[in-house]
Amino acid sequence: MKRMLLTVITEQALERPLIRCVLDTGARGYTITDARGLGHRGLRTADFEQGGNIRLEVICEEDIARKIADALHHRYFQDFAMVLFIQEVEVLRAHKF
Amino acid sequence: MKRMLLTVITEQALERPLIRCVLDTGARGYTITDARGLGHRGLRTADFEQGGNIRLEVICEEDIARKIADALHHRYFQDFAMVLFIQEVEVLRAHKF
Amino acid sequence: MKRMLLTVITEQALERPLIRCVLDTGARGYTITDARGLGHRGLRTADFEQGGNIRLEVICEEDIARKIADALHHRYFQDFAMVLFIQEVEVLRAHKF
Amino acid sequence: MQQLDPVIFFFLLGLGAGLLRAEMRLPAAVYELLTVVLLLSIGIKGGVELAEADLLRIVPQLAIVVVMGLALGLIAFGILRLARGLPRADAAAIAAHYGSVSVGTYAVAVAFLDTRQVFYEGYAAAFVVILEVPAILLGIVLVRGLRPTHGWGSVLHEVFLGKGVVLLLGGLLIGLVAGADQIAPFEPFFFDAFKGILAIFLLDMGLVAASQAGTIRKHGVFLLLFALGFPMVGAAVGGFFAWMAGLSLGGALLLAVLGASASYIAAPAAMRLSVPEANPGLSLTASLAVTFPFNVIVGIPLYYGVLSILYPGGGGLS
Amino acid sequence: MQQLDPVIFFFLLGLGAGLLRAEMRLPAAVYELLTVVLLLSIGIKGGVELAEADLLRIVPQLAIVVVMGLALGLIAFGILRLARGLPRADAAAIAAHYGSVSVGTYAVAVAFLDTRQVFYEGYAAAFVVILEVPAILLGIVLVRGLRPTHGWGSVLHEVFLGKGVVLLLGGLLIGLVAGADQIAPFEPFFFDAFKGILAIFLLDMGLVAASQAGTIRKHGVFLLLFALGFPMVGAAVGGFFAWMAGLSLGGALLLAVLGASASYIAAPAAMRLSVPEANPGLSLTASLAVTFPFNVIVGIPLYYGVLSILYPGGGGLS
Amino acid sequence: MQQLDPVIFFFLLGLGAGLLRAEMRLPAAVYELLTVVLLLSIGIKGGVELAEADLLRIVPQLAIVVVMGLALGLIAFGILRLARGLPRADAAAIAAHYGSVSVGTYAVAVAFLDTRQVFYEGYAAAFVVILEVPAILLGIVLVRGLRPTHGWGSVLHEVFLGKGVVLLLGGLLIGLVAGADQIAPFEPFFFDAFKGILAIFLLDMGLVAASQAGTIRKHGVFLLLFALGFPMVGAAVGGFFAWMAGLSLGGALLLAVLGASASYIAAPAAMRLSVPEANPGLSLTASLAVTFPFNVIVGIPLYYGVLSILYPGGGGLS
Ligand SMILES: Nc1ncnc2c1ncn2[C@@H]1O[C@H](COP(=O)(O)O)[C@@H](O)[C@H]1O
Ligand SMILES: Nc1ncnc2c1ncn2[C@@H]1O[C@H](COP(=O)(O)O)[C@@H](O)[C@H]1O
Ligand SMILES: Nc1ncnc2c1ncn2[C@@H]1O[C@H](COP(=O)(O)O)[C@@H](O)[C@H]1O
Ligand code: NA
Ligand code: NA
Ligand code: NA
């Protein structure tokens, strides 16, 4: 099965619930970097309480990626700054994911 | 229309002009992470004045991505440390971009 | 020749050896961002000695990407937390890489 | 006019630099460190004083202060709903911010009293901890009723385990248990350096306030008026409760300032997750870019001037 | 029971906050800064004292301490191999951690003695530098033999050019060359603020220890027992070598604490690259989440109590 | 030979650790914080002294110092163009760096005078602010003429709203308006801790200088000679202007050191955006990896020795 790289850019405040959602849906790992940015919900810089963004990456099978995207869409898109995109990737040791 | 992910890695000093350029060209958002690296213009680490890099990502329609790439090429490639690449991505709520 | 974006997520402690490996194999540059994450080898957060991850990106020709992947696989996969994936990208000024 | 405390100049410097878009930023890590040190300093100092105070007198005061927090939240909510018809969630979120308190403003008020050598109840830091909580809980109840979406467990976690409550309360307990003598070796760092650390913190707050300033216009005149007007109401309420609690003039100023100030540490974090449909920009802009500067520059000397005249035992302007 | 030094409360606060999953974190940059300042402070203080000490007496003591580091590493390795049959690499890595030392624990022990105004050899910081090294080298030799994979150059680089050795040794040399008079202008920052900085450091360590606590269970009861039991052995060994070196009671406590403590700065970095097949989780969890809290809360007063009774010249419990 | 001030040892420690590739780094956030504190400290101290000085005497001195900045820039530009034929943009960029000043070097010179208890004009921090600007403007004019690419607005923004000018000037104003009495509560943080903070800053600068050292070779011998030789010229020019301004021996040393030093905060940022075709590696390597260490280790005592003999009223070497 294809392996996908799912990237989510969203509010720092969501870090813990997001991780829970990703792991509950069946992904086996994730990577987070701190970020800042601008989108429909305005400027989000990192130099203040809850102000910054995180950039979460998950490598997983395609169906899991879709399930995570659905779950996030359902729960958070209405009320939170969030952007989500998916790419196909070639992964070493693909069975790990 | 296809949605593209444009990534630019360049000098921290360019953060403000770059953002202006991206938004003026028609993109609706951007994400920045701090980075360090090595390229043709030597080592760029983040632990000193103006020393670090930024990694800017923009999701947008293909023609806007090309326009941004052209503008940056024209204005900055001659004199600044800069790398730029483009990938196609699948985006949730594509109409936002 | 196609240009590839190789991304490696691994332990901070490997930063120097990794850079050496990448440049020795023939790549002409790299970009690093600090990251944290979870994988088969457990949680890796950045707030302690050697605890965090780095996210290394290299743009290079396909064969070099494969060589780097092989070298890392050979040397580090056994004993270190490491994830590696490859994507094709469109690069401005491709001859640089 | 009374001269400004120099610590305010640092805020103005940051604000000016930010508004002029100067090439200056204090990294997030610095802000985190300063906040931790400030919260601990205030808590420890309060705890040391608490160790020497008469607990029988203090417990009823703490109860009064809880009521004050709820009253402030309700008043703010009423104003926002009646005068403007803001959506329920937004009104509740802003009310939670204004019923809660700003530790930075409190620190400036303490510096103000110290400079003038005015006596105040040293254990007032306990009021800060207490006031962090009730208005936030109220704000959540006003939107979610008595059954929050993710259950009370998660709400209480957000409210009681935020950085503000944990460090203030932790500091209080440490000061209380250790007492003045054992805290002495920590004084150079937590007390002597306090004003300098507060200065850097205010410089940073100035930069942040400037970066928020652009959004004020977007949110309209009403929010601006509220953010400028409510502090006066809050200060009056604080003064009243101080009188009920039998505080000194200095203590009354502190409670008035707490009433006038709006939270930007505890409340934003808690409301974001518990009432996500509220626009976080509204409350943060109001509390940070308008109310904080107003209190720090105009409010504190103003409340002190008024209390000096009106407060029983105030004894007129010195 | 002897009362806890208040600096421990900060560790407990961090630990509690972490275990309750409070919304609080100290950024990595803060940890780095605190570590650098602590290492330099300890080094400089030791260097100033070294400048006034009798080098002829100290050199043999340093030699004794090298032997002690090797002895501790060998004992730990023996216990781990014999009692449990841990894989050679894991046993060697843990032995390297426990034969080496924890600077944070040492700082708490110094604060303990300062509070009680107990005399100790001020140059003991030199023992800390010395002890960083031998057990780590031993650990590598126990796995790789006398021919490490990437050559001795790279091993020595890892061991001698880690942050710990460089800053402690650098501080020692600065203090030694400059002497007390010239160091005086640095005192407010490096010495007076020391206890406050140590407090923030311990708060952070508490948070880190809490984040590691979850992994203790995963590694089984034996590791837990070792991490709680070995400190007692290490303290006894340290006390014995202190007696051999002719140290005072205070100096004996410091050497006992160094023996009891496990490295979490130098050893993890060096072992990760030199013996990568060892599971770094085992040694880090043991030293950080079990041994560090144990020493800091229970160990130091315990060792002091025992030494007061048993150590020649200890003169009984005060 | 005069003994080195111990603050230099921290620079040497950082430099040594960096050259040996020790596993040590100070995060960017730490560097930012230290810079902010140093700039503010120097500014505030200068402002407090300015409040007590005779403004009528100072204003002409400031004018003299502006001329000095332009003179330094022109001399540097001339040398680089004539002796070597460097491209116009590169020569102008380097001239801007060397006509401007290094705050870190100034801080070390102040520490040098304080240690020796030599009198100096306390308001000299005002010279630092003044000198930041003219050479940078000159550098831009030398390349762009009187019509910079993005207009003067953007150039003036770069030059006047960099961190250096804003914080030094802000500090000066705060010190000036508040005066010594009101600044007193800030002393523990901004003045007493100064030397310790400077020590950590220099440690960091040593690491940075070491990381730049590798590029010196790449840029050839001429740049190395310039970076070692120009400080002597700059110090002579500074000494001459100090004499014109009627400064004391201590003040003359400070102005000589400012003349000898090269900017690495204001100039790189401004030149990067205003003259991007200049190679930033050239000027940064020269000023940071060669001139800064040279001034700090060799230059300051050397200039002081020479001035003690030659400067009117210097009164010979003590
Ligand atoms: N077009 C875009 N390209 C890249 N990143 C974006 C874009 N739009 C939004 N983002 C990022 O996603 C975050 C949330 O977006 P939004 O929900 O639109 O406010 C922003 O703060 C940005 O960091
Ligand atoms: N081949 C590469 N792969 C990944 N990142 C690169 C590569 N080349 C350059 N970079 C990044 O782009 C920045 C500017 O590159 P350059 O303009 O070549 O100096 C560098 O500092 C690196 O962070
Ligand atoms: N499925 C995944 N998706 C994204 N990142 C991952 C994934 N698995 C592991 N990682 C990252 O790669 C690092 C090393 O992974 P591992 O070797 O599996 O422990 C982790 O700490 C994560 O940052
Ligand atoms: Na309030
Ligand atoms: Na040990
Ligand atoms: Na100069």
Is the residue at D3 inside a domain? no
- Token digits of residue F164: 């250096």
Is the residue at F122 inside a domain? yes
Shortest distance, CA E313 to any CA of chain F (angstroms): 38
Query: To the nearest whole number, what is the mean pLDDT of chain D?
Result: 92
Q: What separation in Å is there between the alpha carbon of E108 and the centre of ligand 5?
A: 15
Q: Which residues of C fall within a CB distance of 8 Å from A90? A: 85-87
Give me the CATH code for the C2-90 domain, please: 3.30.70.120
pLDDT-based confidence at residue D318 (cuts at 50, 70, 90): very low
CA distances D281 to A43, B96, D217, E266, Å, are 10, 20, 12, 45
E29, E111, E196 ranked by CB distance to D188: nearest: E196
Mean pLDDT computed over D163-167:
93
Q: In a mutagenesis test of the B interface, which of A4, A31, A36 is the best target, namely the one with the most B β-carbons within 10 Å?
A: A36
CA distances D200 to C44, E97, F117, F248, Å, are 32, 39, 30, 33
Shortest distance, CA E146 to any CA of chain C (angstroms): 21
Mean pLDDT computed over F224-236:
97
Asked if residue B58 has its Cβ within 6 Å of ligand 1, the reply is yes
Q: What separation in Å is there between the alpha carbon of E228 and the centre of ligand 5?
A: 13
The confidence score (pLDDT) of residue F308 equals: 95
Is the residue at F317 inside a domain? no
Asked if residue A81 has its Cβ within 6 Å of ligand 1, the reply is yes
| Residue B10, beta-bridge partner list | B54, B82
Helix (H/G/I), strand (E/B), else coil: B83: strand
| Residue E297, beta-bridge partner list | none
The single residue listed with the structure tokens 């120099």 is D6
Q: What is the SS3 assignment for D42-59?
A: HHHHHHHHHHHCCHHHHH
- Residue C52 CA neighbour count, 13 Å, CB half: 19
Is the residue at D237 inside a domain? yes
Helix (H/G/I), strand (E/B), else coil: F53: coil
Mean pLDDT computed over B55-65:
97
Q: Is B50 on the interface with F (CB under 8 A)?
A: yes
B23, B28, B33 ranked by CB distance to A55: nearest: B33
- Token digits of residue E313: 């010249």
CA distances D111 to D254, D309, E22, E48, F186, Å, are 11, 21, 29, 37, 11
pLDDT-flagged residues of chain A (< 70)? 47-50
- Quick one: angle between helices D55-84 and D220-245, nearest 10? 150
Helix (H/G/I), strand (E/B), else coil: D89: helix
Q: Which ligand is nearest to the CA of C38?
A: 3
Q: Which residues of F fall within a CB distance of 8 Å from D25? A: 32
| Sign of CA pseudo-dihedral E210, E214, E215, E221 | positive
Contact across the interface for E200 and D36, Cβ inside 8 Å: yes
Helix (H/G/I), strand (E/B), else coil: B90: strand
Residue D1: pLDDT over 50: no
D27, D195, D199 ranked by CB distance to F29: nearest: D27
| Residue B35, beta-bridge partner list | B53
ipTM of predicted assembly, 2 dp: 0.94
Q: What separation in Å is there between the alpha carbon of A57 and the centre of ligand 3?
A: 9
Tell me how many domains chain D contains.
Answer: 1
Q: Is A18 on the interface with D (CB under 8 A)?
A: no
| Residue of E176 and F148 predicted with greater confidence | E176
The enclosing domain of F81 has a CATH number of 1.20.1530.20
Asked if residue C54 has its Cβ within 6 Å of ligand 3, the reply is no
Q: Which atom number of ligand 1 is nearest to the Cα of residue A42?
A: 19
d(CA E275, CA E89): 7
d(CA C9, CA C12): 9
**Where do the H-state alpha helices sit in chain F?**
6-19, 28-52, 55-84, 88-99, 103-116, 125-132, 134-144, 151-160, 163-183, 187, 194-218, 220-245, 249-260, 266-274, 280-284, 292-294, 300-310
Nearest alpha-carbon partner for B58 in B21, B93, B11 = B21
d(CA D200, CA D206): 10
Nearest alpha-carbon partner for B37 in C59, F279, A8 = C59
- Token digits of residue D6: 């120099």
Q: Which ligand is nearest to the CA of E234?
A: 5
Q: Which atom number of ligand 2 is nearest to the Cα of residue B41?
A: 19
Q: Is C79 on the interface with E (CB under 8 A)?
A: yes
Q: Is F268 on the interface with B (CB under 8 A)?
A: yes
Mean pLDDT computed over F13-33:
92
d(CA A63, CA A4): 9
Nearest alpha-carbon partner for F129 in F209, F61, F51, F33 = F61
Task: Phi first, then psi: give them for residue E240, nearest 5 degrees.
Answer: -65, -50
Shortest distance, CA D273 to any CA of chain A (angstroms): 7
The confidence score (pLDDT) of residue B59 equals: 97
Q: Which atom number of ligand 3 is nearest to the Cα of residue C81?
A: 17
Mutation choice for ligand 2 from B12, B14, B18, B38, CB with most ligand atoms inside 8 A: B38
Q: What separation in Å is there between the alpha carbon of C68 and the centre of ligand 2?
A: 17
Q: Is D269 on the interface with A (CB under 8 A)?
A: yes
Residue E162 carries which DSSP code? B
Which pTM does this prediction carry? 0.94
CA angle F2, F8, F11 (to 5 degrees): 150
Asked if residue A14 has its Cβ within 6 Å of ligand 1, the reply is no
Nearest CA in chain A to D25: A47
Mean pLDDT computed over F227-236:
97
Nearest alpha-carbon partner for B97 in A85, C90, E12 = A85
The confidence score (pLDDT) of residue A50 equals: 63
pLDDT tens for each residue of chain E, 318 residues long:
456 789 999 999 999 999 999 988 899 899 999 999 999 999 999 999 999 998 898 999 999 999 999 999 999 999 999 887 789 999 999 999 999 999 999 999 999 999 999 999 999 999 999 999 999 999 999 998 877 777 788 888 888 998 999 999 999 999 999 999 999 999 999 999 999 999 999 999 999 999 888 778 777 888 999 999 999 999 999 999 999 999 999 999 999 999 999 998 889 888 998 999 999 888 988 999 999 999 999 999 999 999 999 998 765 544
**Residues B31, B56 contacting (CB under 8 angstroms):** yes
d(CA F7, CA F232): 22
Nearest alpha-carbon partner for E94 in E294, E203, E197, E229 = E229
Full residue range of the structural domain in which residue D100 is found? 28-310
- Token digits of residue E187: 């005192």
The confidence score (pLDDT) of residue E225 equals: 94
Residue D317: pLDDT over 70: no
Which burial class, exposed, middle or buried, applies to B15 when counting CB atoms under 10 A from its CB (0-12, 13-18, 19+)? middle
Q: Report the amino acid identity of residue D247.
A: L
d(CA F176, CA B43): 42
Q: In a mutagenesis test of the E interface, which of C40, C44, C48, C72 is the best target, namely the one with the most E β-carbons within 10 Å?
A: C48
Q: 206-235 in D: which are within 8 Å (CB) of A?
A: 207-208, 211, 215
Asked if residue A34 has its Cβ within 6 Å of ligand 1, the reply is no
**Residues D112, D304 contacting (CB under 8 angstroms):** yes
How distant is the alpha carbon of residue F78 from its chain centre? 21
| Residue D61 host element (H or E) | helix D55-84
Nearest CA in chain C to A3: C85
Cβ < 6 A, ligand 2 pocket: B 9, 37-41, 44, 53, 81-83; C 27-31, 57-60, 97
d(CA D28, CA A36): 12
Give per-residue pLDDT as tens, C32-72: 999 999 999 888 887 666 679 999 999 999 999 999 999 99
Domains of chain A, residue spans: 2-90
Q: What separation in Å is there between the alpha carbon of A93 and the centre of ligand 1?
A: 32
**Residues B77, C93 contacting (CB under 8 angstroms):** yes
